[in-house]
Structure 1
Amino acid sequence: MQPQAFSIDLGLNNFSGPIPCILNGASFLDLSNNQFSEPIPPNFTSTMQRLNYFSARGNQISGMIPSFIEGMNSLTVLDLSRNNIGGIIPLSLGNCIALKALDLSKNRLSGGIPTSLGLLRQLQTMHLSNNNLSGEIPSSLKKCASLETLDLGHNNFSGYIPTWIGKSFPALRILSLRSNMFTGNIPAQLSNLTSLQILDVGQNCLSGSIPQSFEDLVAMKKTNLNLSYGRTGTYYNENLLVSVKGLILEYTRTISLVICMDLSRNNLSGEIPKGLTSLLGLRVLNFSENHLTGKIPDKIGKLALLESLDFSKNQLSGIIPLSMSNLTFLSYLNLSFNNLWGKIPSGNQLQTFQDPSIYIGNSGLCGSPLPNKCVDDETPHTPMPIGGDLEKDKEEYEMRWFYSAIGPGFAMGFWAFCGVLILKKPWRIAYYRFFDDLENRLCFNCHCS
């Protein structure tokens, strides 16, 4: 008769030293957030075929991922993140065919992603971020059709972003390839990921334009989110580092609330697709530090849930759309170092942004909070209705300048003429004689007719 399975939870303590050999037969083993050090002992799980959950997250474990892990056929969650584990990811990890969550992030792993990970057909979450991994993304991963999270950020991966990602992962919600060395264009096929909530390819060497097809990212259009997302496997809570409001924040239980598109710090060019304003669920939008040109989409105000917007350090031109004042949830804005001009819109949420650095580096901008005032500062700047026309917006702006110049111009011309007549007596006499002669001629012509 086999012994009954049991759980061991030693998490969130101050245990130190080597990992002890735990009693056999455990199905749940949590050693997370302690101070265990040294490598995992080779006989640690020699008879733990029943182990379903194993977490040693947040310790000081060194050494390598042990090879005995291939015998854990029942393992659904393996979390060794936030340690000092080095070496390579072992090929034998592909034998854990029941795995649903694999988290090896924040270690010192090197080498590439083994092709054997393509055998993990039930895998839903893969975190390999913040290591020293390199090479290309192996095509064998396309067999992991259940993936919901693919986090490879902050490594040394290179090559193109595979186009097959857009076809192979119908349930993918998080794609983070941030801070690597990927080159080439952003695949338009990523728009086929109808469940994608977070797309982060920032800080790479990507070029080309932003795909127009991104307006078809279905999940980014939703304003009602699936709050149950974020738990994978047994007791495993999803987590991710996201660049938000100029900071790197870690999201865990609230990850389902984040809808983010971050294409920052690349070599992207061309204009911002107008269709992106249909992604009504977006809360974070970051296109900073690229070579984008053209204008800020005039319907940007449709993104009513936007909390963080960063278009800084590009080559954007034109005026700031008045519809931006409709972004009432906006708490972070950066439009600095572009070629924007005209008066900074005010009203609603925009009037709360009093930091001039938000707009610095745009020599043509004027108005609060910048020190250089606009000519028509006394004219109220009312918010533009959502979906306003950019050309009409520009025409109204130019007409304000035209009419504001008519009055002073007329007054100056009138008094210049009258002043000459008052001060110059010969000119005044000649002026009146001209009208007397003109009257006589008109009367003469009438008499003759």
Structure 2
Amino acid sequence: MASRNTFSQLLFILFLCYHLQILEAAGVNSSSAGCIKMEREALLKFKDDLIDPFGRLSSWVGKDCCNWAGVACDNQTGNVYVLDLATIYNCSQTGGSSTSPYSYCKLGGSVNLSKVSTNWLEAINMLPSLLQLDMSFCEVSSLPQPLPVVNFTSLQALDLSNNKFSSPIPQWLFNISTLEQLNLASSTSTFNVTGPNPIPKVLSGNLCKLRELDMSFNYFEGEVTDFVEALSRCSNRSLETLDLTYNKLTGNLPDSLWLLTNLKSLKLSHNKFKGRLSDSLGSLRNLEELDLSHNILSGLLPMSIGNLSRLAVLDLSFNMMSGLITEGIGQLTKLFILNLYGNSNFQGVITEIHLQNLTKLFDLYISSVNKSLAFSLRQDWIPPFSLFDLAISDCQLGPYFPTWLRTQNRSSQITLSNVGISDNIPDWLWTLSPGIYWLDLSHNQLRGKLPDSIRFPSFIGGWIDLGFNNLEGSIPLWPNVTNLSLRNNLLSGPIPSNIGHGMSVLQKLDLSGNLLNGSIPSSIINNMRNLSFLDLSSNYLSGPIPRQWNGLKLLMTVDLSKNNLSGTIPQSIVAYPDSVYLLNLRANKLTGTIPYQVCRLQNLNILDLAHNNLSGPIPTCLARILRLRYPRRYFFQSPPTTREASFFEHTELVIKGKKTEFTKIIILVNTIDLSGNNLVGEIPEQITNLSALGSLNLSWNQLTGSIPGNIGSLQWLEALDLSHNYLSGPIPPSISSMTLLNLLNLSYNNLSGHIPSSNQLQTVAGPSSYEGNPGLCGPPLLNNCSSSSDGNGVSKDKGGDEDEETSQTLWVYISTALGFVVGFWAVFGTLVVKKCVRHAYFKYLDEIADKIAVQIVVNVAHLKRKMGFERI
């Protein structure tokens, strides 16, 4: 017997849980016709591939397979039509439905067939009476592309969803003419398929009994016209459910789509369909669910949409639709969800006619651009519906707070963002529904003060966004709130010292852009153990930063910038919360050195300590930050939703000399800004290892030494500012290889030599990039470099050594001349007194003088050339 581990991989192979409703109460029937030999052998072969340490298949002996546990045969023919592993392995406890004609065994995650051959398929292919085959969540890596003979002549339901096919979907699947249900959802993806992943071809006329087709979450590519036309050619057009969501399908919606008149559910969201919605949409009179969201559809909402009298779900969100919203919407009396959110330019007016007959409406989502869509509803209007979820954004709903909202007493999510309300928040809103957990009233002109205490559902916690209004007063304490944004209001006074106790479950807290003063309460640090986002920037907070941050293990974003905070940077703020990716302490009054513990933040991609009074050197260990060393090769941006909140990722940075607020792409912004401090020492050579860095600003410090020679290895750098320091030496030639650079500022240092040239530098760096460095020469500066200098300002002949040699030679000649004069007068008297000595001496001197004269002439000529005295 094989190992138990292998048993866990193969025990529930196939999940063939098929038995008729009559079997659910009475168990598995036996057959008077007896078992067919070929099918018995197929079952025994199937058993051989299983591992059964508990003997649950011990009854699978003898010739009458119809009496085996979990097997049922047709009373007349003896064919096996049920293989019920639910009974044998008790998988009904993990799934299945007592009301379904097919008992499903959903045991996702418990079977791994990635290393199993396809022999099991040959065995199962020998059961022509099989009704349903369920292989979902089996991690099947491939199916045989050709299958010589398809014996699934009775197969009605086939589920291959949630597997890992590394090869295309085999064409023989679409030749099973008896299929009524086919589920291929999440069976393949771009991560498992090399090259394009085209949508499979459907042969005309082979799937005319098909009622349900699910091919969602496969990243299929290409045009869908041929695929849909093949489905629509069947005379009975039996298809009721078509799901192609989350693929990469392109082109216009084919006209043949509107021929599938039996469709009840059509889901084509998250593709790349474009064009206009045809007025033929109204022919789908049986349609109950229509989801075309997250495409590129444009044009008007068809007038015929009012013909879809059975429609319960209409989702056209996040397209590019425009124009007036037809009043035909009001004829959809069974509408449960209406989602028109996130389109480019809906215009006109929403009146009571659009909404008056929507008595079953549960969720309503509508938005426009620049308030091009307005609501015209009477103040005393009473809606016919009771909404669970309401989202209206970028429309004109105000100026008064909508009183009709008071009737929505079962609401749990309310979004009225940027809808032109300039009114007080009514008291009844806070007690409207005990189930409200999402409240977004941001970007209005709401006035007044907030209530001191409100309770939200404890089992969910409140998500509250009141940012960008004119609210006044102090910060409230609201228990059970997990996400709170009061950003950009007129709130004043100190942050309550007990805020950490009163709001201990907070995960995200944004109080930025107010008039708050006082110190940062230590209770935020000590008691908010789930805090991941903290933004207290742009206030008037003072005093030191709290010291003990070691309890905040989930902290990812810390923004305390633009306050009056003083003291040193606590080591614990960077030593323990290793999940931090954004640390912004800009524009405070912080002193001391940059703690080396900052290098432990391996996920850090934004470090902004600019405009403080920090001193000391730049830590060389910054080069160890992994997120800044390796460029991010991929970035998955989740699709937009109706729940946009301002406390989600945001921070204001100075990049390329401009203040910019970064939000959704903040994870791609890799920057270090240490400018405007008192940092000393050299720029660490190791900093050039941060190859993923996009912006580096070390300006307005007291840095000395040279620019690292390997600065060109920062290939992803777009902005480099080293201005207003005391840097010296040449500009490294490697800087010309930084092809992404579009801002360079090296001004006001002591740099010298020739400016390196490249097409990129000539584009991004003008004279202002180098001014204040009198030793620099060459374009784009006007002072040309000497012809005797190379690119680094060094002589082209023999450099400084040659100049030194010339000076030494000149000194030798001068010394020789002086010695000659002194020696001459020293012996002059002797020569005058003694005649014999005089005659001998002058004879010798004449011989020496001739030799010296010749040497002097040669050396002087050479010296003139060296010193530039000779005419050219």
> Is 1:88 equivalent to 2:473 in the alignment?
no
- For 1:11, which of 393, 401, 408 is the aligned residue? 393
> Is 1:78 equivalent to 2:484 in the alignment?
yes
Query: Per the alignment, do residues 307 and 324 of structure 1 end up closer, same or farther by CA in structure 2, a change over 3 Å counting?
Result: same
CA displacement, residues 249-305 of structure 1 (integer Å, 9 cap, x when unaligned): 111222121100000111111111111111110000001111111111111001000
Query: Per the alignment, do residues 43 and 59 of structure 1 end up closer, same or farther by CA in structure 2, a change over 3 Å counting?
Result: same
Query: Per the alignment, do residues 179 and 354 of structure 1 end up closer, same or farther by CA in structure 2, a change over 3 Å counting?
Result: closer
Output the CA distance in 2 between the equivalents of 1:59 and 1:34.
Answer: 7
CA displacement, residues 296-331 of structure 1 (integer Å, 9 cap, x when unaligned): 111100100000000111111111011101110000
- For 2:672, which of 253, 256, 261 is the aligned residue? 261
- For 1:107, which of 514, 521, 525 is the aligned residue? 514
Partner of 1:117: 524
- For 1:400, which of 796, 809, 822 is the aligned residue? 796
Aligned length in residues: 401
Could you say which structure has the greater relative contact order, defined with CA pairs below 8 angstroms and 6 or more residues apart?
A: 1
Contact 2:699/2:723 (CA < 8 Å) preserved in 1? yes
- For 1:157, which of 524, 544, 565 is the aligned residue? 565
Q: CA deviation at 1:89?
A: 3.0
Deviating more after overlay: 23-32 vs 368-377: 23-32
Q: CA deviation at 1:117?
A: 2.4
Partner of 1:314: 725
Deviating more after overlay: 160-169 vs 281-290: 160-169
Contact 1:69/1:92 (CA < 8 Å) preserved in 2? no
Equivalent position SS for 1:178:
coil
Equivalent position SS for 2:720:
strand
TM-score by length of 2: 0.42
> Is 1:132 equivalent to 2:517 in the alignment?
no
Matches within 5 A, 1:46-85: 46=431, 50-63=435-448, 66-69=451-454, 73=458, 74-75=461-462, 76-85=482-491
- For 1:143, which of 525, 531, 551 is the aligned residue? 551
- What 5-or-longer segments of structure 1 have no aligned partner? 382-393, 411-429, 439-449
Partner of 2:579: 171
TM-score by length of 1: 0.78
Deviating more after overlay: 130-139 vs 11-20: 11-20
Equivalent position SS for 2:430:
coil
Which amino acid counterpart does residue 30 of structure 1 have in structure 2?
T
Query: Per the alignment, do residues 148 and 89 of structure 1 end up closer, same or farther by CA in structure 2, a change over 3 Å counting?
Result: same
Output the CA distance in 2 between the equivalents of 1:38 and 1:115.
Answer: 35
Query: Per the alignment, do residues 113 and 275 of structure 1 end up closer, same or farther by CA in structure 2, a change over 3 Å counting?
Result: same
CA displacement, residues 319-367 of structure 1 (integer Å, 9 cap, x when unaligned): 1011101110000010111111111100242122352111011111111
> Is 1:193 equivalent to 2:601 in the alignment?
yes
> Is 1:27 equivalent to 2:409 in the alignment?
no
Deviating more after overlay: 135-144 vs 249-258: 135-144
Query: Per the alignment, do residues 342 and 378 of structure 1 end up closer, same or farther by CA in structure 2, a change over 3 Å counting?
Result: closer
Which amino acid counterpart does residue 249 of structure 1 have in structure 2?
T
Contact 1:328/1:349 (CA < 8 Å) preserved in 2? yes
Query: Per the alignment, do residues 245 and 46 of structure 1 end up closer, same or farther by CA in structure 2, a change over 3 Å counting?
Result: same
Which amino acid counterpart does residue 400 of structure 1 have in structure 2?
K
Query: Per the alignment, do residues 137 and 47 of structure 1 end up closer, same or farther by CA in structure 2, a change over 3 Å counting?
Result: farther
Query: Per the alignment, do residues 66 and 402 of structure 1 end up closer, same or farther by CA in structure 2, a change over 3 Å counting?
Result: farther
Q: CA deviation at 1:371?
A: 0.7
Contact 1:121/1:145 (CA < 8 Å) preserved in 2? yes
Output the CA distance in 2 between the equivalents of 1:301 and 1:170.
Answer: 30
- RMSD between superposed Cα atoms in Å: 3.5
Which amino acid counterpart does residue 392 of structure 2 have in structure 1?
L
Output the CA distance in 1 between the equivalents of 2:585 and 2:638.
Answer: 19
> Is 1:372 equivalent to 2:779 in the alignment?
no
Contact 2:789/2:796 (CA < 8 Å) preserved in 1? no
Matches within 5 A, 1:417-432: none
Which amino acid counterpart does residue 58 of structure 1 have in structure 2?
H
Equivalent position SS for 2:796:
helix
Contact 1:145/1:170 (CA < 8 Å) preserved in 2? yes
> Is 1:285 equivalent to 2:693 in the alignment?
no
Contact 1:42/1:68 (CA < 8 Å) preserved in 2? no
CA displacement, residues 186-242 of structure 1 (integer Å, 9 cap, x when unaligned): 1110110010000001111111111121111111112125624899x9754412211
Equivalent position SS for 1:138:
coil
Equivalent position SS for 2:494:
coil
Contact 1:17/1:38 (CA < 8 Å) preserved in 2? yes
Which amino acid counterpart does residue 336 of structure 1 have in structure 2?
S
Equivalent position SS for 1:110:
strand
Q: Which has the larger radius of gyration?
A: 2
In percent, how many aligned pairs have the same letter? 38
Output the CA distance in 1 between the equivalents of 2:454 and 2:638.
Answer: 26
Partner of 1:443: none
Deviating more after overlay: 298-307 vs 105-114: 105-114
Output the CA distance in 1 between the equivalents of 2:485 and 2:393.
Answer: 13
Which amino acid counterpart does residue 247 of structure 1 have in structure 2?
K
Output the CA distance in 2 between the equivalents of 1:56 and 1:167.
Answer: 37
Which amino acid counterpart does residue 794 of structure 2 have in structure 1?
E
Partner of 1:207: 615
Which amino acid counterpart does residue 489 of structure 2 have in structure 1?
N
Q: CA deviation at 1:34?
A: 4.2
Query: Per the alignment, do residues 57 and 128 of structure 1 end up closer, same or farther by CA in structure 2, a change over 3 Å counting?
Result: farther
Equivalent position SS for 2:660:
strand
Deviating more after overlay: 84-93 vs 146-155: 84-93
CA displacement, residues 11-48 of structure 1 (integer Å, 9 cap, x when unaligned): 32345556567544433333333444466555542465
Which amino acid counterpart does residue 89 of structure 1 have in structure 2?
I
